[in-house]
Structure 1
Amino acid sequence: MERSPDARNRLACTKMTGLLCLVVTVCLLAHGASGQKVKVEPEVSSYPGQTVNLRCEFRDAAGVQLTMVTWIYEPKDGERMNIAVFHPNFEPNYPESPMKGRVSFSDNPPTLTSPSIQITNVRMTDEGKYICEYATYPSGNEQGITYLVMLAKPQNAASTVTVEAGPTKQVVARCESLNGRPAAEISWVTTAKGNATVVSKAGADNTVSVTSEYVLVPTAADNGKDISCVVQHRTQDKPESLAMKLVIQYPPEVSIVGYDNNWYVGRTNVVLTCEAKGNPLPASILWRAMSGEMPDTVQVKDNTLKVLKVDDAVNTTFVCEVKSRIGVGKDQVTVFVRDTRLPEKGATTGTIIGAIIGVIILLAIIGTAIAMWRKHLRKVNGDGPPKYKPPPPNKNNGSTVNREMTITRQDNPPEERPLQNEFTNIQNAEPVTDLDAYYDDDENVDEGPEHYYSAAPSGWDEPGNSEGPPPYLQTGRDDYTPEPNVNRGDSFISAAMFV
């Protein structure tokens, strides 16, 4: 029975898919077996002249027959080559290679389970890939790869370049890291505004030399600035910093100091100083006067010009000229000789105002402190208004008051008493307005036209008490008229009160 074309196509696709799955599985198993069974170090580093050990070990050899071990060297640029071969039935073999005579198996005699090798007096050209490959049955070849990295500590050096200030960019510092492996990294640290260039160059025995230059537009302000070259390399525990100072040459910069615009006739011993800086240092300093010859009262020594006595002869312009190897710089000052000296400057307005404000603040602080101290003393001593209500005055009957008043009147008659005392007594006495008490106490009044003065009685607030306040006593008047009796509730007019 023939199958349809669609059925045949489906069968072919199924077979192809199964084949692809089988191939992928075999590759994964082979890669896994290789990574697991052959144990090597991924990377080994060494310095020239040393002995390096490349270890190799076959793990879990159960069910696998080990036939032979081969070490293969693969340089970075070049073809692969065998450098060591071991078969249990033969002696170890070392084919022709750059390592012949320097490579050997670590164990003598070697074994298939641990066929490690060593290379003596390694060279920079020995860097590359080393493969430990097993020939096994039935799985085939198994291998492990080790990378040998050769290290060479570089020689680091840095220096500044002496340049003259100018408008164009120039190299002011240079840093080198020579014959290193791998290549070094160079950076710069400085406050000068510039940039760096880096150039790498292959050296002897597979080494690398790195050169970096710092470039800027040099100015006088850059002279003496700190600059450091920092070199980083794998062979160094920490970055190496090479510190320097920039050397920028510029012509002398000159300034004259000492003139205060107050040179007057008769002034003595005034000095002008010529200050100059430059790189290189100034070689010579020359003073001269624009009017011609120097006045007789002028003395010149090095960078100072001293006027012994000011007169009209020094009413000129003094020039200081400084020379160096790369240029000339100068400065000048024009002197104006006055007939009389300028008045001395007093304290500025701002200073005066500040002093006044300071005094005011100080006085305010002192006043506040005194007020607080007095308040504290009042609290301690108990000063201030009483904190309790005083007791009421004692009761006194009317007869006693009348007797006292009478005695006082008899001892000091009205015509002999001072008017001031009488006025004082009247002001201090409180007038009585209880009319009922006044008329109820008529039997206690002595004969004669007399008026009484009295203070408030002790029974003022007790209406039921028959003892009322005594009437005012007025002496010395004959026209006293008794008050008519007025019943409660009736209208009345009180008699005039004489004060």
Structure 2
Amino acid sequence: MARDYAARCPVYPVRNAWLVAVAVLLAAQEIGAPKVQVAEELEAYPTESVELSCQFNDGGGLTKLTQVSWIWEPSDGHRDNIAVYHPVYGQSFPNVAFKDRVVFLHNSLENPSIRISNLRMSDAGRYTCEYATYPTGNEQGTTTLIMLSKPKNSANGVTVQAGTKSVVVARCEAADAKPAATIEWLAPVGGNHSTSTTSGPDGTVTVRSEYRLVPTPADNGREVICRVNQKTQKQPWVYPIKLSVEYLPSVSIEGYDHNWYVGRSDATLVCLANANPEPTTITWTAASGPLPETVVVEGNKLTVRKVDDAVNTTFICEVKNRLGSSRHQITTVVIEALEDPSSAGVVAGAVIGSLLALLLVVALIAVLLTRSRRQQRRGYPSSGDSIATGSGGSNGGDYGNKARLLFSNSGNNSSKNGTGTNNNGPIYTYREGCDATGTLTEKANDYHHHHLHHASTGNAPTAHDILLSSEMDEAERRKFDLDDSMEEEEERYDRFGGVAGGGNILPPAYHVHRGHAGEEMDVYLDDDMESQRDGSVISRTAIYV
């Protein structure tokens, strides 16, 4: 039967081993587990409350509980009962320091938890929940109570005087903190700091730090920052401190522009002072003695009502504060006024007006000259030209040796330039001499007969033909040059002057003598005259060479 059972239920060595191990472990935990269960550590703050829990764990129910006690052990190692509970005799609080601050939460030996109210920093320490049992004896569990204290932070500046030695300019403190705080300085002024700590009787720590530097006037008003770090603070505590550095006044004078001329009104000087503490008095004096009568002083401002030689001096401004006094001086130089400032605008206006008038006259003259030149180029005689008479010398004009060719008109209209085909009549040359007499000779007869075929065909002789004529001497050919410079000279001699009586008129006829017979002939030119814009007339058929 045993073999059959073994065959049906085989024993697995590995599985059995695991079962045995688990059983042994549970037994060991049951044996080694504390019977009194408490919290290992608690944190609390002064004036607050804390609950200390305690329970007895009797696994088999074989332990008999007699009473329970709470024992306080401060940091110095002294043990003292603060609360006792007996199921028959009730509650007891033997320690006077905890009287009225400790109570049992439950009237039970199995759960003798207590509450401590209105905590003090001195309440920190070890709290032991201890059972008196039978037959195992006393059983206990211990809780450590840590008291925390938020620091009392403060910071302040120290008023100092500017100097050459390093002194304390700011202080920062984190007092009665637990655990101790740390202090940092954030400062752009380039100083240094020192820190010290002091322990209190209740376990708190006070940390102090001082900031030092060599103070200068420029450091006055600058900020340094104290920052405190501590466990109980959610974020660092930051406090800015404004430095206070006292120094003598620094004085300067402004307002002098080096243009104090005689007669100037309300010239002003301003005395500026930088000081800590603030200046108490500001005084103006003159190096030459009392202030001139034209000077008025109002606080830090000195005003000269009328500049004269009396203010050609040195002005001194003295500023005082609680630490002492400082002064500054400036020398003013009075100059002579070059002109009356009130008439400067009138003079400038007169100058500008004169210039504008001069420019207007120059422009008008330029326009008149330009117009006169244009009229001369077009052949218009000016008012200063004279008209040649039949004798050639009534007005005494000297036109030089000049030949004028006059074409007789057969009645047909000629072109404006005098070279039309209708000028097929005889050509007369009018010679003007230096003796103011002019003679008209019929040198054109030979020319006319020599070139008769021109007239028969209706072609008038051209200027080129005249130049090629053997009748004209070399001097006349040179005078007939068509250069632009000679044209302007010819136009000047081509103008007629006014006769006695003031009018520009053309004489009715030229009295000429034929060169070969000496008989006189009248040549009328009014049939080919053309009126001009200025009232004069010019022959269309006359060619001047």
Q: TM-score range by the shorter chain?
A: 0.5 to 0.7
| Equivalent residue number for residue 146 of structure 1 | 143
Name the CA distance, whole Å, in 2 between partners of 1:133 and 1:33: 17
C-alpha distance after superposition, 1:93-151 (max 9, x if no partner): 6565854664443210231xx33222244332111122345678999977544221224
Cα offset for 1:57?
Answer: 3.6
1:45 equivalent to 2:40? Answer: no
Name the SS of the counterpart of 1:221 in structure 2: helix
Aligned position for 1:279: 276
Distance in 2 separating the partners of 1:121 and 1:146:
19
Hey, what does 2:104 align to over in structure 1?
105
Aligned-partner residue type, residue 173 of structure 1: A
Q: Is residue 164 of structure 1 aligned with residue 154 of structure 2?
A: no
1:168 Cα deviation after fit: 1.9
Change (3 A) 1:246 1:192: same
Residue identity opposite 2:254 in structure 1: V
SS at structure 2 position matched to 1:125: helix
- In structure 2, relative to structure 1, the CA distance for the partners of 1:96 and 1:341 (3 Å cut) is same
- Report the counterpart of residue 303 of structure 1 in structure 2: 300
Q: Counterpart amino acid of 1:108?
A: N
Question: Does the Cα contact within 8 Å between 2:280 and 2:322 map onto a contact in 1?
Answer: yes
Pair 1:125 & 2:108 matched: no
- The answer to whether the aligner puts 1:250 opposite 2:213 as a matched pair is no
Structure 2 unmatched ranges of 5 or more: 1-24, 340-545
Corresponding residue number in structure 1 for 2:289: 292
Give the whole-Å Cα distance in 2 for the aligned partners of 1:340 and 1:295. Answer: 20
Aligned AA (1:46): A
Number of residues of Structure 1 aligned to a counterpart in Structure 2: 311
Q: CA deviation at 1:254?
A: 0.7
Q: CA deviation at 1:271?
A: 1.3
In structure 2, how many angstroms separate the alpha carbons of the residues matched to 1:94 and 1:32? 33
Report what 1:56 is aligned to. Answer: 54
Report 1:247-396 matches (<5 A): 247-339=244-336
Q: Deviations over 1:249-270 (max 9, x none)?
A: 1111111111223334443322
Deviation at 1:230, TM superposition (A): 3.8
| Structure 1: gaps of 5 or more residues | 1-25, 343-499
1:273 deviates by 0.8
Deviations 1:14-59, CA, capped at 9 Å, x for gaps: xxxxxxxxxxxx9xx899945x765433332333344321113456
For residues 165-198 of structure 1, give each alpha carbon's deviation from its aligned partner in whole angstroms, at most 9, with x where no partner exists.
Answer: 2222222233344444444444444444333333
Equivalent pair of 1:45/1:151 in contact (CA under 8 Å): yes
Superposed counterparts of 1:479-494, under 5 Å: none
Cα distance change on mapping 1:291 and 1:106 into 2, 3 Å: same
Asked if structure 1 preserves the Cα contact closer than 8 Å seen for 2:63 and 2:136, the reply is: no
- Distance 1:192-1:43 versus aligned 2 partners, 3 A rule: farther
* Structure 2 CA distance for partners of 1:44 and 1:265, relative to 1, 3 Å: same
User: Quick one: which amino acid aligns to residue 105 of structure 1?
Assistant: F
Q: Is the contact between residue 65 and residue 136 of structure 1 (CA under 8 Å) also seen in structure 2?
A: no
Q: Is the 8 A contact 2:63 2:135 kept in 1?
A: no
Match of 1:214 in 2: 211
What is the Cα deviation at residue 204 of structure 1? 5.9
Distance across 2 between alignment mates of 1:254 and 1:235: 52
- Say which of 115, 118, 125 aligns to 2:112: 115
Structure-1 separation of matches of 2:176 and 2:30: 39
Using the TM superposition, give the Cα deviation of residue 200 of structure 1 relative to its aligned residue in structure 2, in angstroms: 3.0
Q: Answer yes or no: is the 8 Å Cα contact 1:171–1:216 preserved in 2.
A: yes
2:467 is aligned to none
Tell me: CA distance 1:204–1:138, structure 2 relative to 1, closer, same or farther (3 Å): closer
Q: Deviations over 1:264-315 (max 9, x none)?
A: 4443322111101211111111112223333343332211122334344333
Distance (whole Å) between structure 2 residues aligned to residue 278 and residue 30 of structure 1: 81
Q: 1:332, CA displacement in angstroms?
A: 1.6
RMSD, aligned α-carbons: 3.9
CA contact (8 A) 1:263 1:341 kept: no
CA distance in 1, matches of 2:107, 2:61: 24
Equivalents in 2 of 1:163, 1:31: separation in Å?
Answer: 73
Is the 2:30–2:59 Cα contact (8 Å) retained in structure 1? no
Match of 2:75 in 1: 76
* Cα deviation digits, residues 188-217 of structure 1 (max 9, x gap): 444443333333334464444443333322
Q: In 2, Cα distance between the equivalents of 1:269 and 1:32?
A: 108
Larger radius of gyration: 2
Question: Of residues 220, 224, 246 in structure 2, which corresponds to 1:223?
Answer: 220
Cα pair 1:67 1:134 within 8 Å, conserved: no
Query: 1:203-254, CA deviations, whole angstroms, 9 ceiling, x for partnerless residues?
Result: 4644444433333222212222234444445555444444442222111111
Percent identical residues: 49
Q: Does structure 1 retain, via aligned residues, the 8 Å contact 2:296–2:303?
A: yes
Contact 1:252 1:322 in 2 (8 A): yes
Aligned residue in 2 for 1:198: 195
Q: Deviations over 1:432-490 (max 9, x none)?
A: xxxxxxxxxxxxxxxxxxxxxxxxxxxxxxxxxxxxxxxxxxxxxxxxxxxxxxxxxxx
Separation of aligned partners in 1, 2:47 and 2:63: 34
Q: Is the alpha carbon distance of 1:258 and 1:139 closer, same or farther for their aligned partners in structure 2, counting shifts above 3 Å?
A: farther
| Residue identity opposite 1:43 in structure 2 | E
Q: Which residue of 1 aligns with 2:502?
A: none
1:325–1:96 Cα change, 3 Å:
closer
- Residue 85 of structure 1 deviates from its aligned partner by 5.5
SS at match of 2:278: coil
Residue 249 and residue 311 in structure 1: after superposition, are their counterparts in 2 closer, same or farther (change >3 A)? same
Q: Is the 8 A contact 1:190 1:227 kept in 2?
A: yes
Aligned 8 A contact 1:81 1:97 in 2: no
